[in-house]
Each structure stands twice: as structure tokens, then as C-alpha cells.
Amino acid sequence: MKELIPFCEISDPGVITGITVPLYKPAGWTSFDVVNKCRRITGFRKVGHSGTLDPFAEGLLILGFGTHTRRLGPYKDLDKVYRVDIRLGAETDTQDRTGSIIAQSGQGTPPDLRAIEDLLPQFTGIIKQTPPMYSAKKVNGERLYTLARKGTIIEREAVPVRIETITILEYDWPLLRCRIRCGSGTYIRTLAADIGRALGCGAYALELLREQIGLWGLKECLTLDEFTEAWKSIRESMP
């Protein structure tokens, strides 16, 4: 069983005042779902995370509890590594598998691997991305996803993001699997959609796994069940 002690700040009387924990967010959960669950597990009122993962995505989510919520800021600026399965040949309104199909490719010949390899360098370095409507970004104090669910689409300003590397892991039409190292603020599903448009066939993110934040990776992660058991164990061992 993974232990919590390396992540804890414990005061002299034996009170845990803060924890920073790398947790594995399962697909289908919002980042807030994980925060809320961990509040109930630990009793900490102050719980935060270092960067939202989309509900369909899974993987590393760094949580701060108690006094450690103030320490989350630096994690938000660290490079991140994702593995993404891109479904070529169609587009959705959310740019991922949870949305409705809004366009499908009518082309007869799928792009070959060489064409994709030749295209990807234009998406590395500092590039501009338009934040998706289905995102937590605020415009005039309102979340974009709130507007999108009302059927309201507004103009969004493209913002610079940094893509360090895009590595093709597998290609078997219509699936393109890549590993992406990028800077803070990058929308991987938007990158998938933009690649699809550039290829002329459309695309959306089918699966998304966050593998790394800075030096923290999946091997350090605790599942929610492991976290629950570790928390129970550490509380029983406290004086």
C-alpha cells in the first residue's frame, strides 16, 4: 500500500495540517468530483487541485489539502505530458468523444503516416489556440461551458501556448495515438481538432491520459481507493 507520510505536513501535537498528493483521476469524474470526494474522506474543508482535467480524461491530478492549498501555484506552471488517442475523420462540438458529431470527412483516401509526420512540426513551439467553448475558462465572469450549454457561442481570443514535442506512438486509420509534452494552458482536445482540420479530415480527442506534471508521474499516483486506505491507516497511527 502506498503511504501518505512523504506528502504530509504534521504539526508537533500529531495533527496533519497539510498534504500534497498526486491522485489518479478516473475518466467520467470532473476534477471537482475528486476534490469533493477527498473532502469527505479526510474532513479537510480546504482542498484544491493544480490544474483541471476534462471529465472524459484521466490521469495525474495533484491535490493540496489544508495549508498545502497555498503551495499548488507552482505546479500549474510546470510542463505536462499527455497521451492522446485522436480519432480522425470527424469533428464534435466539444472536440472530444463526449460531444455530438458536427462534421464527418467525405474524403476517400486517409492521410498517410508521412503526411502526418510532415504536418506535426507546425504545431510545435509557440502556437496560438482558441479556447474551446466547452471549457472552464471565464469570459466576463462566466464559464464558457455555461454559455455553451445555453447554446450561446461567443468570439474567443486565440492565446499563445507552448508545445514542446508531439511524438506519434501509433497510427492505424482512423486512430492516431500521440504523446505530447506541453506548457501550461494547452488544450489537448483543441490541438487534436486543429490537427484534424489541417489534415483536411477533421478530428477529435477519443482518449486522454495525463502522464506527468513536472517530475511527478503516474508511478507516484494514488487511486482514490488507495488514498482512502492510506488516509485511514495514517489516522489510526496518529496519537
Q: Are domains 5-77+215-237 and 80-213 of this chain identical in fold?
A: yes
Residue 111, SS3 per DSSP: coil
Query: What Cα–Cα distance (Å) separates residue 148 from each residue in 90, 111, 159, 215, 238?
Result: 20, 32, 19, 35, 48
Of residues 163 and 6, more confidence is placed in 163
Pick the catalytic residue from 12, 54, 118, 194.
Answer: 54
> To which CATH superfamily is domain 5-77+215-237 assigned?
Pseudouridine synthase (3.30.2350.10)
Q: How confident is the model at residue 237 (pLDDT cuts 50, 70, 90)?
A: confident
If you average pLDDT over residues 114-130, what whole number do you get? Answer: 97
- Pair 179, 167: CB distance under 8 Å: yes
| Model pLDDT, residue 148 | 58
C-alpha cell recorded at residue 127: 502556437
Q: Where are the domains positioned within the chain?
A: 5-77+215-237, 80-213
Least confident of 25-34, 94-103, 189-198, 229-238: 229-238
The band of 140, judged by pLDDT with boundaries at 50, 70 and 90, is low
Say what the pLDDT of residue 2 is: 64
Confidence of residue 233 (pLDDT cuts 50, 70, 90): confident
Give the pLDDT confidence score for residue 30 in this predicted structure: 93
Predicted pLDDT of residue 3 = 67
- pTM here is 0.90
Angle between helices 31-42 and 224-237 (to 10 degrees): 20
Whether 54 is a known active-site residue: answer: yes
Q: What is the pLDDT of residue 13?
A: 64
pLDDT value of position 204: 97
pLDDT at 236 over 80: no
As assigned by CATH, the class of the 80-213 domain is alpha beta
